[in-house]
Each structure stands twice: as structure tokens, then as C-alpha cells.
Amino acid sequence: MQTDVLVVGGGLGGVAAALSALRAGRSVVLTEEFDWLGGQLTSQAVPPDEHTWVEQFGITASYRALREGIRDYYRRHYPLTSASRAAVQLNPGAGYVSKLCHEPRVALAVLEELLAPFRSSGRLRMLQPFRPVAAETDGDRVSAVTVQHRDSGEQLTITAPYILDATETGELLPLTGTEYVTGFEAQSETGEPSAPAEAQPLNMQAVSYCFAIDHVDGNHVGDKPANYAFWRNYQPSFWGDRLLSWTAPDPRTLESSLRTFTPNPDDDPLAVVADQRRTGGDTNLWTFRRIAARRHFEPGAYDSDICLVNWPMIDYFEGPVIDVPDADRHLAAAKELSQAVLYWLQTEAPRPDGGAGFPGLRLRGDVLGSTDGLAQAPYIRESRRIKAEYTVVEQDLAVAVRGSRGAVEYDDSVGIGMYRIDLHPSTGGDNYIDVASSPFRIPLGALIPRRVENLLPANKNLGTTHITNGCYRLHPVEWNIGEAAGLLAAFCLDRGTCPRAVRNTPALLGEFQSRLVAQGIELGWPAVEGY
């Protein structure tokens, strides 16, 4: 197959990249290894993590259209109450992690709607479920990528002048010989206050298998997981209790903190205020990442709220899953941990009334499109990252370093983002690293490999460090990265140039940035303070 732009990976960054290249008039082949497009928003089942100003500014126009499309989908198809239907900033799950918590399948439907006209016209060809297995290079260029069908083993080779790596783990980087890093860089290399003295390439953030539950009458306890005893007694040195408990470190203070769990509270979903500037929202685990609040809907439509479990206790940090020979073993163990958490919740979790276990908890794999009840894909927080022309470091945006100056204002901005530097416990034995961040720009230099000319990152694999990945990995930033990468590929094809020349030629850079602005991509922030 041959196309103008090949996008490997159909997560949020991949879909945004494909859309922006298609809207710029280019043909695209988009590949995805799981059954659902959307990555962390859908197949990984993670409600959007977004900054406090998301309803006003700080995201791209197309990401805003995705968010409003999700709300409109609920208004068109779900039995909302009249008050909820009229809510301008409808939060279907009334979760505290985000101003827009929702069922993953709704996001999938909206993403498919956005792509539908391009699929019908033939300008977009989808290869699903396919994953990359090989690549061909010619000097400093990638000439082709071979993908393989997950189930049948069928292989296809695709050629394109521009190839975008939008995979969750930067899978094209080793296949193409593109220089990259993993894990923790040394402080001597990056100068970051939170970095260790020596590099730790296998020290990576936890991965998680999320799952959805509701709480209804009856006993829904399944078989005890084979490795349950291990996880029931597992206690990390920095946790303050067993992993399977209501105790976990507060990410911002590292002090042991007691969470609460109250299924189906009789709360008013329209009164929920989700604002991570004020709180992380994880005090009550039921409402933390709730994706369906039953009181938003007509009486009887939902027997229960639906709660998305992406909690501290499902974080798996026993070993990395990138560039290690036993990655599959660790992914299987991460699944085992989530299954053990569910069984513990059903049978042993302390209740407010002094009893133990919530047997009415029911696994809702149907909501996630899976057969085993867990998310289709693991939630990958940290990817391989290109060695880029410019690497974003902690001192570029940390409030403790920058103070009132705000983040570094890169002249080659291709978008903006905001989130705390939020690192979960890692495979090297580190506790949370959670650092206040200033609203930041996304530099074009972080999207350009030091050597390879036609491969662009379109996910979490751009030029960040282990530390700054913690604020660049969230939903709207990944979308912006992908959108900018797709527009960059189209721009280079239109102008007969290359990404490196765009960044380093003022006239080309100005023209490209004008195109970004015309597409609704914000390149700078108004005067707001980080948190």
C-alpha cells in the first residue's frame, strides 16, 4: 500500500494526526492494534484528565469539537433528565477527575463519526487490528513499515513519504533505528531537580488495567484469582499499608491517606465541581472516575452508577513492559492485579458499617467492549521517547523553578498544554513524583528526531524526559501533539520541504504556525498561573 501519510497507532494522537492530514487534503493510512480507536480515552478506559480552564481555552478547536460531540451524543441518544439535558457543561459521569467523565463507547462513536466521511471517500484507509512488526530504512529516512493482523497473521507493507509513530509505546522507534530513550535520565544530562544522579532506563511509570463496575442487588463474586494471596499480602515499602487497602500515598504530599468508598451515593450530579487545581478528586473512589451518574438519567434508566476503576491500587510497578524480554509476563501480572483488586472489593474491602466486602459489585466489561471484563488495552503512562532536536525538561515549566515567570515561551510553539507533573510509582521503586507545573507550550523541536528526517512522533513519544512526560501524557496534550504532527507532514508535502527546515527557517516556521492558528490551535497562554 502507498499513501501520503502513514499513521501507525489509532489512539488520540493517531486519530488527531490522521484528521489534520486529511483535512489538509492528504491521503492517510491509519493502523490500530485494538478493536477500538481512541487509545487512553476508549480501549484503555481512562476518562479525560484535563486542566482547570478546559471549558474556556487551552485546547485545540478539534479537541473541543470532540468534547462537545460527546456531550451532544448523550443529548441525542441517552434518556437524560430535562435539567441534565440543558446543562451546558454536561458531565455524564459527574466524576471529580474531569469536567467530562463519560462512557468510553460514546467517545468511540464520536471518533468514528469524525473519520467517517474520509473513510467513505477513500482518502482514509483503516487497518485494524494491525500492529507494526518491521520497517525498512534508506539512510536517514524510513521507506516502509510492515504491519501484521493481530488474529490472522496477515502482513501488509505500507510506503509513505511521512510516517507518524502514534503507538502507545513508540514501537516504530526501535524498528526504524530512530534514536530514543526510556525511563529516568540522569541529572547530569538534563539538569532536572527531580532527576537521579545516574540514568535508570528501566525505571518507568506503572501500567494499569482499568475496569468498570456498578453496584446492584445480588452476589456477583466470581472465582478467586489464582494469584490472589500474593496481591492480598503485597505491601510496597512506601505505601503505608497493603496495596489492597483504602490507604495510599497522597500524590502531592506522599503522606499516607485514607480513601473512602461509597457505592451509589445519593448526590446531585449537577452540583459536582471537577477542578484538579483545587483537589485531585480521589478522596472518594466511587465518584473519582465515575462515568455514569444514574441521577443524570430518567428514573429506572440505570440501576446503578458506573464507576471506572483507575485507582492507586491497580498500578502495577513490579517491572517494566518496554524493552524487556518478559514484557508479556508483566502485562499478565498487571491483569492479575486488577482481577485481585476486584475480588478484594467484593469479598474483603472494609465497609463503613463495619462489615467486609461488596458482593453487589458487578464487572461491566460490556461497557468497555471486552470479554474478560477489563479494558481492552493496558493504560501506558510512559513511552519510548525520541532523542529530539529539543528536549523539554523539568526546569522549563516547574512552578518551583520558573515561579511567576511561567513556563519557557518557545518561539517554535505548535500548541499548548497544562497538567501537573504527575508521575505514578515506578518500576525502580519510586513513590509518586507530583510537581506543580506552569501552563506550557509544545515546541516543534520536540517533534523532530535528531537524525531521521520523515518519522514524526504523534503520541507520548516526543522529546520529553521521564519527568516532563508526566504533564505531556494527558488526553488534550496527546491530541495536540498528533494534530500538529499531521499538519506538519501535510505542510512539508505541500511546500516540498522537511520538518527540520520548517523549524530552522523563520519564514517557513511563521507560515506553518499561521496554518496551525487557522486550524484553531492555540500557540500561547493568556495570563494564568500554574498549580
Is residue 165 a part of any domain in this protein? yes
The CA-atom distances, in angstroms, between 199 and each of 189, 323, 433, 453 are: 9, 15, 17, 27
Q: 122-165: per-residue pLDDT in tens?
A: 999 999 999 999 999 999 999 999 999 999 999 999 999 999 99
Please choose, from the candidates 333, 477, 501, the residue with its C-alpha nearest in 3D space to the C-alpha of residue 13. 477
Q: What is the mean pLDDT of the chain?
A: 97
Domain termination residue (choose one: 380, 396, 422) = 380
Same domain, 398 and 314: no
Q: Are residues 397 and 350 in the same domain?
A: no
Q: Which of 359, 380, 401 lies at the terminal end of a domain, its last residue?
A: 380
Helices and strands in the chain: count of H runs, count of E runs: 15, 20
For residues 349 and 443, state if they share a domain: no
pLDDT at 279: 80
Determine what percent of the chain is predicted with pLDDT higher than 70.
100
Q: Which residue from 232, 212, 365 is spatially nearest to 289, judged by alpha carbons?
A: 212
- Closest Cα partner for 36 from 14, 17, 60, 20? 14
Spatial contact of 52 and 412, defined as CB atoms under 8 Å apart: no
pTM over 0.95: yes
Q: What pLDDT does residue 115 have?
A: 98
289 in a domain, yes or no? Answer: no
Residue pLDDT, tens place only, 417-473? 999 999 999 999 999 999 999 999 999 999 999 999 999 999 999 999 999 999 999
Q: Are residues 431 and 370 in the same domain?
A: no
Quick one: 487 and 422 in the same domain? yes
Judged against a pLDDT cut of 90, whether residue 17 lies above it is answered with yes
User: Is 530 inside a domain boundary?
Assistant: no
Instruction: Please indicate, yes or no, whether residues 388 and 363 belong to a single structural domain of this protein.
Output: no
DSSP state letter for 404: G
Residues 487, 457 share a domain: yes
Residue 223: give the domain boundaries: 207-264+304-380
The per-residue pLDDT for 521 is 98
- 212 and 172 in a common domain: no
Distances (CA, A) of 497 to 29, 139, 484, 489: 21, 17, 16, 10
Specify the CATH number for the domain of residue 30. Answer: 3.50.50.60
| pLDDT for residue 281 | 75
pLDDT digit string (tens) for 26-75?
Answer: 999 999 999 999 999 999 999 999 999 999 999 999 999 999 999 999 99
Contact of 256 with 239, CB cutoff 8 Å: yes
Amino acid identity for residue 271 in this structure? A
Q: Of 339, 364, 380, which closes a domain?
A: 380
Q: Do 371 and 388 belong together in one domain?
A: no
Q: Mean pLDDT, to the nearest integer, of 111-129?
A: 98
Sort strands 28-31 and 5-8 into parallel, antiparallel or unpaired.
Answer: parallel
**Does a structural domain hold residue 58?**
no
| Cα distance between residue 472 and residue 461, in whole Å | 10
Residues 335, 463, single domain; the answer is no
Please tell me the total count of domains within the chain: 2
The pLDDT tens digits for 179-237 are 999 999 999 999 999 999 999 999 999 999 999 999 999 999 999 999 999 999 999 99
Verify that 230 and 329 share a domain, yes or no: yes
As a whole number of angstroms, the distance between CA 97 and CA 276 comes to 7
